[in-house]
A and B are shown apart, each in its own frame.
Chain A
Amino acid sequence: MNRVLSARPVVWLTWGALIFFMLNLVGIVGAVVTNSFAESWFGTWLPDGYTGKWYGEAWRDYRLLDVLVVTFQVAIAVVVISVLIGVPTAYALARRNFPGKKLLNVLFLLPILMPPMTYGIPLATVLYKFHLAGSMFGVIAANLVPAVPFVVLTMTPFIEQIDTKIESAARMCGANTVAIFTRVLAPLLVPGILAASILVLVRTVGMFELTFLTAGPTSQTLVVSLYEAMSSAGIRPQQMVDSMAVIYTGSMLVLLVIALRFVNPTQLVTRLKEPS
């Protein structure tokens, strides 16, 4: 009881700041959502009237179906390829100590540490040189640069915590290398792969810079066409951009809710077993 009382001022300050932050956040999101449903809204507390027509118009005018299909294709391709490349790498890094391992670790850490612009511009230059920029291939390749290291980084500790004795036990039962991977390791890795995949998916859908630098007119993902729509505003009503932003946030929210079902966000760096 005493402890709770002595902590009061800090507690109130923390919750107060948090509520202020939240109120502003609600205001920011609320303003966009309200505007996306507004007939027109100039200099008043609330819009003059409400309509859902902007969603339809944005859907048609910005060809959102095409954009969503591209976004989906890019994201799935990035997830599949980054898992296929990243998981074997993570396995080797988790299980072996070999000369040059430190260097490789740094190389896999840098793309996550570097601002995307710093390697995005040279990468875009190289892709333009080989006439690969502007295509789906270029967008996928660029998005793989942070995605593969991300899979490696999340899967390495996950593999490390699987006891090597389990692999030995399978070997003693007569399992060869292929059987160990398919029958023992793969089922044990599924939760980790699922978690890494969903995080890569969220990151790729939200990745602006790399897609922006490498995409052409037919290979834009939702974030980029949203940005383009906003920069070229003035031609079309603000409400259309806002309704598009709401669509984007809605789909990200769905992804995040799915992600949180598979990943406990408090266990990103340490896997602490909470008593259930």
Chain B
Amino acid sequence: MTALLSPRDRESPSPRDRKSLERASLKHRLAEKGVDRVLWLLVPGAVFVVLLFVYPFLYGLQLSFQPKGGGSPFQNYITFFSDSYLAETVWITLRLGLPAALFNVLASIPIAFRMRGRFRGKRALTTLLVVPITLGTVLTAEGLLAFFGPTGWFNRIWMALGADEPAKLTHNYWGVLFSLIITGFPFAFLLTLSYLSGIDPTLEQAAATLGASKRQRFRTITMPLLAPGLAVTFCLSFVLAFSVFPSAVMVGNPAGETHVMSIAAYETALRDNDFAMGSAIAMLMALVMLIVIGVVLIWRATLYRGATGGKG
């Protein structure tokens, strides 16, 4: 062995050293890519998400192509779109979800604006605005039925103000929309306030010293920085409103005007025991939702999305 080594080689690392160096360098190359022992920490999370989310989702997807009654793999989807009672659910759901999400986001902006900065009772007011989260759908539904019902307090005042007949606000589209606003608004408000608080107020002050009026500051500084956050808020609000289920049953007209996709999916899967069809409707629901969110996020990608000056 030594005989094979020329004198110059004697200075290079011994075989043992060299081996450990090679090992170190493989380890190093992997570490450079971020692969080291820390990644073991991902295992429980990854197993979890695959087992309880990816697998069921894919299972549902393939199940939706195995119609209960046999036939073409696309039979479930064909049935969905040819049956107007089912196909209509898409529009019914969008007609509820989009206005509710839009209203919640738009209404949050001025209120969040008022809530910026520090003033007495801010915490109390924030809490008050967040309280509807605790109501839950059932209390909201009961309350809507009682309050907006034909003999409820609202219609009593309405009649006292001179209306001829009570306004019909429950067991129809409006009841569900109100319910979505009551449960969705606090959430949209919190997110908007959170995004708004992240914008450094000195940016607006800087614009003011450069001669921008209050309206110009809002239009040229605050809005562009807030817009990406509003896009995210809209998406999350839309998801909440889009998955409407209990309130559509309780304060809506679940067989007609508010026969939304989740009711259709639930009824076919668990009441009629047609899991294949139920999965197909669930997949379509996911698809519609992803399309709406995709459109919003593509729009968001055109906006400035860097730091908003907030610390950290």
**Residue contact B49 to A107, C-beta cutoff 8 Å:** yes
**Residue contact B282 to A227, C-beta cutoff 8 Å:** no
CB distance from B177 to the nearest CB of A (A): 13
**Residue contact A122 to B34, C-beta cutoff 8 Å:** no
Check: A92 CB closer than 8 A to any chain B CB.
yes
The A-B contact count (CB < 8 A) is: 285
- Given A118-B285, A126-B56, A249-B135, answer yes or no on A256-B142 (Cβ-Cβ < 8 Å): no
**Residue contact A148 to B194, C-beta cutoff 8 Å:** no
Interface size class of B (residues with CB under 8 A): 35 or more
Q: Which of A51-59, A61-69, A206-214 contacts B (4 or more CB under 8 A)?
A: A206-214
- Given A96-B36, A117-B285, answer yes or no on A269-B198 (Cβ-Cβ < 8 Å): yes
Question: How far, in whole Å, are A21 and B262 apart by their CA atoms in the complex?
Answer: 28
B43-71 near A? 1/0 per residue, CB < 8 Å? 01110110011111101110100000000
CB distance from B72 to the nearest CB of A (A): 21
**Residue contact A125 to B235, C-beta cutoff 8 Å:** no
Interface residues of A in 177-220 (CB under 8 A from B): 202, 206, 208-209, 213
**Residue contact A269 to B194, C-beta cutoff 8 Å:** yes
CB distance from B32 to the nearest CB of A (A): 10
Question: How far, in whole Å, are A118 and B286 apart by their CA atoms in the complex?
Answer: 6
- Chain A positions within 8 Å of B147 at CB level: 24, 27-28, 30-31
**Residue contact A28 to B53, C-beta cutoff 8 Å:** no
Check: A253 CB closer than 8 A to any chain B CB.
yes
- Chain A positions within 8 Å of B154 at CB level: 24, 27
- Given A25-B132, A86-B45, A266-B197, answer yes or no on A245-B139 (Cβ-Cβ < 8 Å): yes
Of A117, A266, A270, which one neighbours B262 at CB under 8 angstroms? A117
CB distance from B261 to the nearest CB of A (A): 8
**Residue contact B130 to A256, C-beta cutoff 8 Å:** yes
Residue of B nearest to A101 (CB): B34
Question: How far, in whole Å, are A92 and B308 apart by their CA atoms in the complex?
Answer: 26
Q: Which 3 A-B pairs have the closest CB atoms?
A: A122-B60, A115-B243, A270-B198
